[in-house]
Amino acid sequence: MKTLLLLVTLLTATVSGANAQNTTASTDTLSTLVGKWTGTYEGDDSGNFELILNRESNKLTGQIVMLPPDGNRYPINLKTAVWQNGKLSASYTDPNSGNDVNFSGKLADPGMKGSWEANGGQASGTWQLKRADK
């Protein structure tokens, strides 16, 4: 009986420790993502942009800031922003067309890179970002 109790106690401690480690890892990753990123997008459309990610509790929020050649800044709030399984997935509504733009990507030394699509997949391309605030 003592052996069974000891085994259950050790198993419980191991599972609890593993869960705490996973929680810390995801929190650390969110901390890595939070901040200002700057880069380019290419494909059916191209240009420069910033991605500003914030953390509220354990959720990501933020903005895309389009940077056209005229020097103006066009901030757009993200509708969604999720970090899951090592991948950032986010979306926003294009203020000109009213269509959703979806993008996803991964951390890639020295920044992030991924792909985007708009108009239900009729427009698409790639993007890359580097950390702007560190």
Per-residue pLDDT tens over the stretch 43-72: 998 999 999 999 998 899 999 999 999 999
User: Residue 10 above 50 pLDDT?
Assistant: no
Q: Which two tokens stand for residue 48?
A: 């420069």
Per-residue pLDDT tens over the stretch 93-115: 999 999 999 999 999 988 999 99
Amino acid at 73: R
pTM of the entire predicted model: 0.77
Q: Which two tokens stand for residue 42?
A: 């290419």
Return all residues near 78 (Cβ < 8 A) that are at least 6 apart: 60, 61, 62, 63, 64, 90, 91, 92
Residue 2 pLDDT class (50, 70, 90 cuts): very low
b vs e for 113-130, b when ≥16 Cβ sit within 10 Å of the residue's Cβ?
ebebbbeeeebebebebe
Mean predicted lDDT score pLDDT of the chain: 82
For the purposes of burial, counting CB atoms within 10 Å of the CB of 94, is it exposed (0-12), middle (13-18) or buried (19 or more)? Answer: middle
- Identify the DSSP state of 14: H
- Domains of the chain with CATH codes: 34-131 (2.40.128.120)
